[in-house]
């Protein structure tokens, strides 16, 4: 499913007021098209860069994003500003990098000396939560080498009024919210309540999701680290599968609603024979179903590697099991179910299969960020600080066409980002695995057999 294209009105950025203070950053004057200088006002990044033959949108009519970057004049007076950072939701490689880079940008570059670390997510913005940590250069010095979050995290909303009371009482001017869609919904609610009270509070989101499923963010931090670690697990599953007659290496990866990790790791590995994701339904039983295709693969090649996203095949398991504290659906365990069904099916068919099951979910999300994600974290954190100091609010740092942009948080939270089943990534997965586009209908077409023999 593709993102719903935004409208021009949705891309309007909220500002707290006129920026009257000169920026303390030592940068060249704003020049359109230049890099390494202040960002001129009015620079935009188009939503679409491809144009249909013989026509297209006029530049002034096209939907576009405001380009992120440091401004020559800022809203907040740095010595009089108090900022805070909060990290929410599940763990993700790179959160500590964001904390460290955002703090250094505030402290060293802008001269904001008062920066608080909110502990354990939105819980720390209430009187019931633990006391915030005053961030210092010593505190953040080595945290980028660690997984997790040095501030702690939690799931679930807190009363908006109580959180804004806390921010007002503590004199916090800037709140950087590091988290996924639930966190950003909370950030939007905080910004709305602050606006209703007439508070000059800048709320800026830094998109965090290992699943890479936040709209208007081509790649979220932690995703490449997840692919790297998932590839290592898949390689182990492949070795195990090849090491015994009729070996099956079954790997369950994160991906509650979107199959980006499963698909990306499949392409990175090039050893996967079946990739199952939430966006593409599949039949388990019957001719042309997954088990039927797996049997053909085992009898032909003697081994198989299967990757499944955690949200795949939920329709086969009787639906969801309620919601967690963040409102996320509690999913049935497709990995364990597949392991049991593969084992029972192979016994019924007289195949002495040896199934090795891997579930590295928490291992993958708890490791430090790799090089690619470390670079992305640093840039996103610094652009979030630039947006906040300029007085932007209710805004998220997006990443679009290799550029950092400002996206209004409401435009993000009313959409979903999913892997397109007719897009280039999924087509590449089908080419790499040899699996059919549809499992369960076994449609035979000239030149498109229901099962393409694997190259491996």
Please give the positions annotated as active site.
211
Rounded CA separation 365/359 (Å): 12
C-alpha 65/C-alpha 405 separation (Å) is 6
| One-letter-per-residue 3-state SS of 307-347 | EEECCCCHHHCCCCCCECCCCCECCCCHHHHHHHHHHHHHH
CB count, 10 Å around CB of 358?
19
Instruction: Give the pairing type, strands 82-87 and 174-179.
Output: parallel
- How far apart CA 270 and CA 251 sit, in angstroms, is 14
Cα(13)–Cα(375) distance, integer angstroms: 26
DSSP for 83-141, please give it: EEEEE-SS--TTHHHHHHHHHHIIIIII---EEEEESSGGGGGSTTSPPPEE--HHHHT
* Paired residues of 307 in beta bridges: 251, 275
Q: Decide: 64 and 48 in contact? Cβ < 8 Å.
A: no
Place of tokens 């935009």: 44
In angstroms, the CA 109 to CA 104 distance is: 7
Contact 282, 262 (CB under 8 A): no
* Cα four-point dihedral sign 299, 303, 307, 310: positive
**Contact residues for 400 (Cβ-Cβ < 8 A; gap 6+):** 45, 47, 65, 216, 217, 218
DSSP letter assigned to residue 448:
B
**What length does the chain have?**
456
- As to burial, measured by CB atoms within 10 angstroms (0-12 exposed, 13-18 middle, 19+ buried), residue 113 is middle
- 209-225 burial, b at 16+ Cβ within 10 Å, e below that, comes to bbbbbbbbbebbbbbbb
182: phi then psi, degrees, rounded to nearest 5: -65, -40
**CA 214 from centre of chain:** 5
């Amino acid at each position: 499913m593709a993102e719903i294209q935004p409208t021009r009105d949705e891309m309007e950025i909220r500002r707290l007021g006129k920026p009257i203070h000169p920026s303390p950053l030592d940068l060249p004057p704003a020049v359109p098209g230049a890099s390494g200088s202040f960002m001129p006002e009015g620079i935009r990044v188009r939503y679409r860069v491809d144009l249909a033959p013989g026509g297209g949108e006029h530049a002034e009519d096209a939907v576009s994003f405001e380009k992120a970057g440091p401004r020559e004049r800022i809203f907040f007076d740095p010595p009089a500003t108090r900022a805070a950072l909060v990290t929410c939701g599940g763990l993700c490689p790179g959160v500590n990098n964001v904390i460290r880079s955002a703090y250094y940008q505030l402290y060293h570059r802008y001269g904001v000396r008062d920066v608080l670390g909110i502990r354990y997510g939105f819980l720390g913005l209430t009187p019931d939560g633990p006391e915030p940590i005053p961030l210092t250069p010593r505190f953040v010095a080595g945290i980028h080498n660690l997984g997790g979050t040095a501030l702690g995290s939690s799931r679930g909303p807190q009363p908006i009024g109580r959180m804004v009371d806390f921010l007002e009482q503590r004199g916090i001017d800037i709140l950087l919210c590091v988290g996924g869609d639930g966190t950003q919904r909370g950030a939007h609610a905080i910004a709305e309540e602050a606006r209703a009270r007439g508070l000059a509070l800048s709320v800026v989101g830094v998109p965090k999701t290992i699943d890479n499923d936040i709209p208007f963010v081509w790649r979220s931090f932690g995703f490449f680290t997840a692919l790297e670690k998932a590839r290592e697990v898949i390689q182990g599953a492949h070795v195990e599968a090849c090491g015994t007659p009729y070996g099956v290496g079954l790997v369950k990866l994160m991906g509650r609603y979107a199959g980006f990790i499963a698909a990306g790791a499949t392409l990175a590995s090039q050893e996967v024979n079946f990739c199952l994701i939430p966006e593409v339904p599949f039949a388990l039983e019957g001719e042309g179903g997954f088990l039927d295709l797996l049997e053909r693969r085992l009898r032909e090649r003697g081994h198989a590697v299967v990757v499944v996203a955690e949200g795949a095949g939920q329709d086969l398991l009787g639906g969801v099991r309620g919601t967690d504290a963040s409102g996320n659906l509690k999913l049935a365990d497709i990995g364990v179910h597949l392991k049991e069904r593969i084992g029972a099916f192979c016994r019924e068919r007289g195949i002495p299969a040896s199934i090795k099951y891997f579930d590295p979910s928490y291992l993958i999300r708890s490791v430090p960020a790799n090089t690619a994600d470390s670079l992305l974290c640093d840039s996103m954190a610094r652009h979030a600080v630039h947006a906040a100091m300029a007085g932007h609010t209710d805004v998220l740092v997006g990443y679009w066409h290799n550029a950092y942009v400002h996206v209004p948080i409401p435009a993000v939270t009313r959409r979903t980002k999913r892997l397109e089943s007719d897009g280039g990534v999924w087509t590449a997965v089908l080419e790499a695995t040899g699996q059919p586009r549809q499992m369960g209908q076994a449609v035979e077409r000239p030149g498109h057999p229901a099962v393409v023999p694997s190259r491996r």
